[in-house]
């Protein structure tokens, strides 16, 4: 029965964020403001404000999911692979996005479980405050980001934010870790994509040299090399190799 709660983790995060915003705003806003309404537990945000905050956070949720999860690296690598194969729109963007999303969910499942059990569940049971829940829930995410964020990128954003150098990695804020993680994943994804391009580039060069040597200048070499690249990719079971290597890079 406990596993059913994982389906509502995104909604849980939104509720926690809305609650934290409400708590912070209540400290600085007079009780007579039209933003507030009287509830059983005291002052709470009025319904229109809650709806506006919820819709705003929902628009930001896809960008957050893509930025702080393995989705970024996976979609970059799959895009490079499709370009290297020269198959144009096959597989389609929807298929690539779906595959990237489900692979990201598989990798992030332990992190989501830690956030749920350490933050959302205690907050919902009233064992800890919302502020404490946000603090506890950020720890598993920080540990995940620290595993893949390069020290060089972290140092860059620490300097840009004009913060004092942390004594331990655990002292880093998410405002520093998230952009550092994004830069690190961009570099890693481009590195893997460049490596994937090499064997297909060799095929293109060989086919182009052969077609030019026999005088087939009217037929584009790409049309001849595409079947050979696809055949090579299928023979070596390329999808399993690429996806397997991507998944292992996160473990």
The neighbouring-strand residues paired with 37 are 44
- Look at residue 190 in the predicted model and tell me its pLDDT: 92
pLDDT in tens, 204-249: 888 888 877 777 767 777 777 788 888 888 888 888 888 888 888 8
- Look at residue 30 in the predicted model and tell me its pLDDT: 44
- Look at residue 116 in the predicted model and tell me its pLDDT: 83
- Look at residue 11 in the predicted model and tell me its pLDDT: 43
Angle at CA 240, nearest 5°, toward 200 and 204? 5
- Look at residue 21 in the predicted model and tell me its pLDDT: 41
In the block, residue with structure tokens 């229109």:
48
- Look at residue 132 in the predicted model and tell me its pLDDT: 78
How far apart CA 145 and CA 161 sit, in angstroms, is: 18
- Look at residue 108 in the predicted model and tell me its pLDDT: 86
How far apart CA 75 and CA 201 sit, in angstroms, is: 21
- Look at residue 68 in the predicted model and tell me its pLDDT: 84
Among 108, 180, 115, 117, CA closest to 149: 180
- Look at residue 158 in the predicted model and tell me its pLDDT: 85
* Kind of pairing between the strands at 36-39 and 42-45: antiparallel
- Decide if 184 contacts 215 (C-beta within 8 A): no
> Whole-model pTM?
0.72
Which parts of the chain have pLDDT scores under 70? 1-46, 217
Helical pair 71-85 and 238-248, crossing angle rounded to 10 deg: 150
- Look at residue 15 in the predicted model and tell me its pLDDT: 45
């Amino acid at each position: 029965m406990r596993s059913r709660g994982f389906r509502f983790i995104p909604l849980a995060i939104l509720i926690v964020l809305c609650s934290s915003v409400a708590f912070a705003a209540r400290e600085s806003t007079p009780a007579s403001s039209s933003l507030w309404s009287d509830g059983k537990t005291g002052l709470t945000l009025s319904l229109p404000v809650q709806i506006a905050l919820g819709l705003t956070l929902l628009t930001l949720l896809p960008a957050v999911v893509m930025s702080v999860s393995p989705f970024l690296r996976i979609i970059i690598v799959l895009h490079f692979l499709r370009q290297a194969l020269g198959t144009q729109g096959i597989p389609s963007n929807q298929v690539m996005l779906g595959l990237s999303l489900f692979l990201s969910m598989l990798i992030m499942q332990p992190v989501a479980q830690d956030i749920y059990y350490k933050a959302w569940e205690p907050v919902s049971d009233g064992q800890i405050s919302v502020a404490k829940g946000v603090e506890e829930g950020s720890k598993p995410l920080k540990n995940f980001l620290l595993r893949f964020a390069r020290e060089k990128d972290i140092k860059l954003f620490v300097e840009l934010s004009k913060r004092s150098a942390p004594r331990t990695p655990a002292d880093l804020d998410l405002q520093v870790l998230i952009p550092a993680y994004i830069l690190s994943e961009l570099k890693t994804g481009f590195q893997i994509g460049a490596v994937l391009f090499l064997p297909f580039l060799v095929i293109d060069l060989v086919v182009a040299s052969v077609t030019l040597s026999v005088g087939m200048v009217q037929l584009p070499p790409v049309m001849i090399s595409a079947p050979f690249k696809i055949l090579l990719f299928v023979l070596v079971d390329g999808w399993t190799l690429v996806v397997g290597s991507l998944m292992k890079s996160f473990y």
